[in-house]
Amino acid sequence: MPKETWVTGRGVRERRGFTLIELLVVVSVIGLLVGILMPSLLHARLLARRTACQGNLWALGRAALVYQMKWAGDVPVCWQNVDLQRPRPWKSWRTNLLAYTPRYNAFNCPGAADSGSLGAVFHSADEVRSQELMGTVNAGSYGVMYQYALPGYRVVNCAGLIARGHPMWSCAFSALPGASWTDPAASVYAADAAITREPVTYPTRGYKHYGTSVIMPPSAEEYFDSEVTRRFADRHCGTNCLFVDGHVTSYETAELDGMTAGAPDCVWDTQ
């Protein structure tokens, strides 16, 4: 290390400087530390978003329970605000729950990308209530499971006919055990969701400017093979799931995708 001599009133002192090699070593060590810490900081940030997301789903679960108390044990499932020209123009599951939620952004996952326009993120209660197709079917970051109720469950549909319950045409499913779901406490009601235009990836790469109000069950052929699919979303080290009874659990998204319909450990099937 080179020395620099300088004089003060108390005598001569020497001040040592850094050589180029020493500076490079210091810079390398700093770069190494940053490289080690950044993944941990990113992971911590994702976990924080996952926790905030769980809080939102918990709030939606409370809203669904209040809805059940008002509507004889039913929970809303319709995927869109059905056309007003229909004999029974249902409101979407989100519109039905909106009146019982503390704020409209409870429908927004903190990990969802905000395009600035209506898509995966809502910017007002009016957007949640939208009658437009994009405002109901192709918007949002949480979706209900898009599948039939149990075979014996019948309900009046949006055409005014009695038929097996399904989110496309039914307003609500009964949350009573054995009615729409075999075991509501072990059945997913809503979860992190995304619409994608590519094969399944972890984390999920969503279709820009679009969201979804429903999730196709992984047992559906188009879940893995279709170019455009509504899937469980992996935004924050996994997928948060709200169950019919109101509790929230986080899963690895690949685990959800790998479950088999009808199996005892499958949480997204109604059986």
Is residue 36 classed as helix, strand or coil in its secondary structure?
Answer: helix
Q: Is the backbone peptide bond immediately before 218 cis, with ω within 30 degrees of 0?
A: no
Domain residue spans of the chain: 17-257
The pLDDT of residue 6 is 46
The pLDDT of residue 20 is 74
Is residue 37 classed as helix, strand or coil in its secondary structure?
Answer: helix
The pLDDT of residue 131 is 83
Distance separating alpha carbons of residues 107 and 57, to the nearest angstrom? 8
Element at 243 (helix H, strand E): strand 239-243
Structure tokens belonging to residue 203: 């984390």
Which among 189, 223, 196 is positioned nearest to 65, based on CA atoms?
A: 189
Which among 193, 195, 89, 191 is positioned nearest to 138, based on CA atoms?
A: 195
Distance separating alpha carbons of residues 271 and 268, to the nearest angstrom? 9
Contact 236, 53 (CB under 8 A): yes
In a structure prediction context, what are the per-residue pLDDT tens digits for the chain, which is 271 residues long? 455 444 555 555 555 666 777 777 777 777 777 677 666 667 678 788 999 999 999 999 999 999 999 999 999 999 998 877 788 888 999 999 999 998 999 999 999 989 888 889 999 999 999 888 888 899 999 999 999 999 999 999 999 999 999 999 999 999 999 999 999 999 999 999 999 887 888 988 877 789 999 999 999 988 987 778 899 999 998 999 999 999 999 999 999 999 999 999 999 998 8
